[in-house]
Structure 1
Amino acid sequence: MTKIKIPYSKQFLEIEIPDNNLVAILESKAHAYKVEQTQQEIVSKALDNPIGSAKLEDLVKSVKNLVLITSDHTRPVPSKVTMPILLSRIRSANPKIKITILIATGFHRPTTRQEMIDKFGAEIVENEVIINHVSEDYNSVVRVGTLPSGGELWLNKIAMEAELLISEGFIEPHFFAGFSGGRKSVLPGVASAKTVMANHCSEFIASEYARSGVIVNNPIHRDMIYAAKQAKLAFILNVVIDSNKKVINAFAGDSELAHIDGCKFVMELASVKAVKADIVVSTNGGYPLDQNIYQSVKGMTAAEATCREGGVIIMVSACNDGHGGQSFYDNIANASGPRAVLDRVLKVGRNDTVPDQWEFQILARILDTHTVILVTDMCDPEMIVKMHMKHAATFEEALQMAFEIKGKNAKITVIPDGVSVVVK
């Protein structure tokens, strides 16, 4: 038996795979990447050496009103490390500056006060102005143009009224935007629901270029770059993290150039060669990304890239927050099956995209050719079954179910952290 540690919620599980079944363990090299500097030193070095930009301190010197976009509760950005450094540097250069922290919720629910404390620490929450972006509040957004795709670009007024707009985030493979980070803090981060839905239309999601690790010719990325430029996103700090959510590298500077350099670094670490298998085990990297089924689709796409057609994907994800989106749930659960979802969604026009359409489209794509067993003891099994997946309370139970479907000699590939790899 081969023992493998995989993340689950805020802990790790040790699973066992029979040696004669196991064909590969696909892991990002980020998890074994060794650094000698502290997280703070890595971040500070990046800020001292910005890419394609003046230093942050020089940018803020004469600015009265700065807006700092940050990620929400669903993203493992180590803001307890990054935010104090950013705030300190900004105020050291300009003590009188007004700073607003704008949480880029995208299409997600607002971040709660407790989640803010967990993310930033109590001191920042108690002493800083922190505002949630609410994508469906059309009084809080302003139209600033038309996306290359033709969709209307509506962005948060607070961001657009800033004298200087900067952002923090992290870079990892993203299952349809290519990579997270950079321009994503604007679109979908602080965009209106209408804009997010136009950008995430079924046509673009179905594109062969809307895949993990791909930004060239990616229509979704193209829209996002345009949105960031229209918002005048002047400076970014993006970090790269390991499986323990610790910073192993950081990139700061111009919102496009620094992001590109960061993506290159991540690609070197994250790219793994597909090893086809009958059964593929994946996760969503543990907390905070495995809080719901919606987010867990990301880890499933990594498994999809290396699972044989008709194979079984064992997705180990806590999903303690439920399905993660009512429209997402309804459109899967109320359909006769995944093929019916795909047939319907591919007929939906760009400007008629419905909430969560991109997520249920991708899940339906996976379910159309694979059996998915969701492993969790923190989520309602009935909900999972209604969404055309199978449920297992333990990994051992899931593996037994998978063997019953594919046979005792089935070959198994394990991806301990599905959101950290680009499977080629």
Structure 2
Amino acid sequence: MTTVSVPQLAWYGDTELELEFPDSWDVTVCKHKGFDAPPLDDAGFRKAFANPIGTPTIREMARGKKEVCILFDDMSRATPSADIVPYVLEELAAAGIKDDQIRFIAAIGAHGSMTAIDFTKKLGRDVMSRFRVYNHNPYENCTSVGPSSQGIPMQFNAEMMMCDLKIGIGSIVPHPFSGFGGGSKIILPGVASITTIDLNHTRLAPDPTVGIGKYEGNILKADMNEAARMAGLDVKIDCIFNLNRKVTHLFVGDVLEEHVEGVKVAREYWATDMVKGCDIVVANAFSKANEMLLTLPVATPLLKSTGGDLVILCVTPEGQINHYWSRSFGKNLGGRAFKPKTSLPENTKRLTVMQPYPDFVGADWVAPYEMVNFTRDWGETLKQLKEIYGDKARVAVIPDATVQYFPAQVAA
């Protein structure tokens, strides 16, 4: 048997799942180009903070400030914020900022709220014992700052808007709307109202400039950038991480300028060579296991055009994230963007969702329930595949289909 290891259980131990395949099968592991990048050491972190892109250092910007807000992303992002926060706090302390001047706000956008367990995993016990940590509420307490040039009404978290120093922490990975995540997404959708999120997404997402890996000229991303300026975000910290969720690259500075530099690296780092005509595609959902629908546009183009087996590995105890904008909230009810699925994904004859932790309702994000084949472990999954393909199959394994992308597909 041929054994392939893929990462699993982000935030729940970060272990590996071993997948066995018959030796007679043609198995390609689609690793991204930066898969073996080493993690940054302390000197690397300090170099990034000492040499910000397009701004003074945080300690310089913080001098004389009265109220500080630190935004961070939620559990649907693999950003190891707890590894970054101590450097931010060190910068603020050097400027004379006291603990009671600082608050943290989870930039959850339209996702469900985080718990103290989540906050502790994301920020560390020290932060939870010293600082106020809040969830953003997209339905309440949002301050209007006027429309963007696209006519989108801009409304942002009121607590953040009352602060005179605003800092964001995130990561840069490919994204189906903004081209690449990170940067200004910490503001929109991160701490925007549901109205702002909805109109930005529904009005601008259909534009042909929008899509995974599409960055320059992306009209939706440009609106997010304008939102960050209107909100007055002072500093953004964006990392690139490996599949052990360790920081490999770090960019600190102006929200637009640091992101441009970060995307230059991320575009190559997350790029993966295309494999076509597969009988089976095994799409592992790791970094964003609670948003398994993100695997679909990455994985389905690899299947043969006549159709094949798509297997999504979804190993997460928390299930699929609550998404007030796009998830279901009843058999035929859902958020503003909810549309019941009526068919299997493109090129897919059979969709298998391997869920060791059952989450039946979460499947409606990818296909109608009755069209989903649920399994609980790899042994069961492989047995079913062998019943169809016997001793011969062309297989692609994507170690993390929630953050990798295929530039050849973007160009097409």
The alignment's TM-score, normalised by the length of structure 1, stands at 0.85
Give the Cα–Cα distance (whole angstroms) in 2 for the partners of residues 365 and 157 of structure 1.
Answer: 41
Q: Secondary structure at the match of 1:30?
A: coil
Q: Kindly state the Cα deviation for residue 79 of structure 1 after the two structures are TM-superposed.
A: 1.9
Q: Secondary structure at the match of 1:118?
A: helix
CA contact (8 A) 1:177 1:221 kept: yes
Could you tell me which residue of structure 2 aligns to residue 351 of structure 1? Answer: none
Could you tell me which residue of structure 2 aligns to residue 231 of structure 1? Answer: 231
Could you tell me which residue of structure 2 aligns to residue 344 of structure 1? Answer: none
How many residues matched? 394
Instruction: Assess, with a 3 A threshold, how the Cα gap between structure 1 residues 176 and 409 changes in structure 2: closer, same or farther.
Output: farther
Could you tell me which residue of structure 2 aligns to residue 118 of structure 1? Answer: 121
CA contact (8 A) 1:42 1:248 kept: no
Q: Secondary structure at the match of 2:17?
A: strand
Could you tell me which residue of structure 1 aligns to residue 48 of structure 2? Answer: 46
Q: Kindly state the Cα deviation for residue 319 of structure 1 after the two structures are TM-superposed.
A: 4.3
Give the Cα–Cα distance (whole angstroms) in 2 for the partners of residues 333 and 23 of structure 1.
Answer: 39
Could you tell me which residue of structure 2 aligns to residue 151 of structure 1? Answer: 152
Deviates more, 1:273-282 or 1:203-212: 203-212
Matched, 1:375 2:376: no
Could you tell me which residue of structure 1 aligns to residue 15 of structure 2? Answer: 11
Give the Cα–Cα distance (whole angstroms) in 1 for the partners of residues 342 and 94 of structure 2.
Answer: 51
Could you tell me which residue of structure 2 aligns to residue 141 of structure 1? Answer: 142
Could you tell me which residue of structure 1 aligns to residue 311 of structure 2? Answer: 314
CA contact (8 A) 1:305 1:423 kept: no
Q: Kindly state the Cα deviation for residue 23 of structure 1 after the two structures are TM-superposed.
A: 4.6
> Could you list the per-position Cα deviations for residues 17-51 of structure 1 after superposition, in whole angstroms to 9, with x for gaps in the alignment?
2344335211123320135x52x332211111111
Which residues in structure 2 correspond to 1:31-110 (within 5 Å)?
A: 31-35=35-39, 37-38=40-41, 40-96=42-98, 98-110=101-113
Matched, 1:417 2:400: yes
CA contact (8 A) 2:8 2:315 kept: yes
Could you tell me which residue of structure 2 aligns to residue 272 of structure 1? Answer: 272
CA contact (8 A) 1:23 1:275 kept: no
Which residues in structure 2 correspond to 1:186-205 (within 5 Å)?
A: 186-201=187-202, 204-205=204-205
Which residues in structure 2 correspond to 1:162-241 (within 5 Å)?
A: 162-201=163-202, 204-241=204-241
Q: Kindly state the Cα deviation for residue 305 of structure 1 after the two structures are TM-superposed.
A: 3.4
> Could you list the per-position Cα deviations for residues 279-301 of structure 1 after superposition, in whole angstroms to 9, with x for gaps in the alignment?
11111225xx21x3xx1111233
Give the Cα–Cα distance (whole angstroms) in 2 for the partners of residues 110 and 56 of structure 1.
Answer: 28
CA contact (8 A) 1:317 1:375 kept: yes
CA contact (8 A) 1:242 1:248 kept: yes
The percent of aligned pairs where both chains have the same amino acid is: 26
User: Greater helix percent: which structure?
Assistant: 1
> Could you list the per-position Cα deviations for residues 121-151 of structure 1 after superposition, in whole angstroms to 9, with x for gaps in the alignment?
22211111211101122xx101112234433
Instruction: Assess, with a 3 A threshold, how the Cα gap between structure 1 residues 262 and 314 changes in structure 2: closer, same or farther.
Output: same
Q: Kindly state the Cα deviation for residue 173 of structure 1 after the two structures are TM-superposed.
A: 1.4
Instruction: Assess, with a 3 A threshold, how the Cα gap between structure 1 residues 227 and 383 changes in structure 2: closer, same or farther.
Output: closer
Instruction: Assess, with a 3 A threshold, how the Cα gap between structure 1 residues 105 and 330 changes in structure 2: closer, same or farther.
Output: closer
Instruction: Assess, with a 3 A threshold, how the Cα gap between structure 1 residues 383 and 355 changes in structure 2: closer, same or farther.
Output: closer
Structure 1 residue identity aligned to 2:38: K
1:330 is aligned, of 301, 304, 328, to 328
Instruction: Assess, with a 3 A threshold, how the Cα gap between structure 1 residues 271 and 256 changes in structure 2: closer, same or farther.
Output: same
Q: Secondary structure at the match of 1:29?
A: coil
Give the Cα–Cα distance (whole angstroms) in 2 for the partners of residues 242 and 66 of structure 1.
Answer: 30
Give the Cα–Cα distance (whole angstroms) in 2 for the partners of residues 318 and 228 of structure 1.
Answer: 34
Instruction: Assess, with a 3 A threshold, how the Cα gap between structure 1 residues 329 and 50 changes in structure 2: closer, same or farther.
Output: closer
> Could you list the per-position Cα deviations for residues 155-213 of structure 1 after superposition, in whole angstroms to 9, with x for gaps in the alignment?
11122222121111111112322111110100000001111111221x64444433222
CA contact (8 A) 2:281 2:309 kept: yes
Give the Cα–Cα distance (whole angstroms) in 2 for the partners of residues 176 and 75 of structure 1.
Answer: 15
Give the Cα–Cα distance (whole angstroms) in 2 for the partners of residues 390 and 356 of structure 1.
Answer: 28
> Could you list the per-position Cα deviations for residues 247-267 of structure 1 after superposition, in whole angstroms to 9, with x for gaps in the alignment?
111001111010111111111
Matched, 1:132 2:135: yes
Give the Cα–Cα distance (whole angstroms) in 2 for the partners of residues 388 and 150 of structure 1.
Answer: 40
Give the Cα–Cα distance (whole angstroms) in 2 for the partners of residues 44 and 213 of structure 1.
Answer: 29
Could you tell me which residue of structure 1 aligns to residue 374 of structure 2? Answer: 391
Structure 2 residue identity aligned to 1:257: E
Q: Secondary structure at the match of 2:279?
A: strand
> Could you list the per-position Cα deviations for residues 294-340 of structure 1 after superposition, in whole angstroms to 9, with x for gaps in the alignment?
x11112332123223322211001243334337655389649xxxxx
Could you tell me which residue of structure 2 aligns to residue 357 of structure 1? Answer: 337
Q: Secondary structure at the match of 1:422?
A: coil
The alignment's TM-score, normalised by the length of structure 2, stands at 0.87
Alpha-carbon RMSD across the aligned residues, in angstroms, is 2.6
Q: Kindly state the Cα deviation for residue 387 of structure 1 after the two structures are TM-superposed.
A: 6.7
Structure 2 residue identity aligned to 1:8: Q
Which consecutive residues of structure 2, in runs of 5 or more, have no partner in the other structure?
408-412
> Could you list the per-position Cα deviations for residues 231-279 of structure 1 after superposition, in whole angstroms to 9, with x for gaps in the alignment?
1111111111101001111001111010111111111111122101121
Q: Kindly state the Cα deviation for residue 153 of structure 1 after the two structures are TM-superposed.
A: 1.5
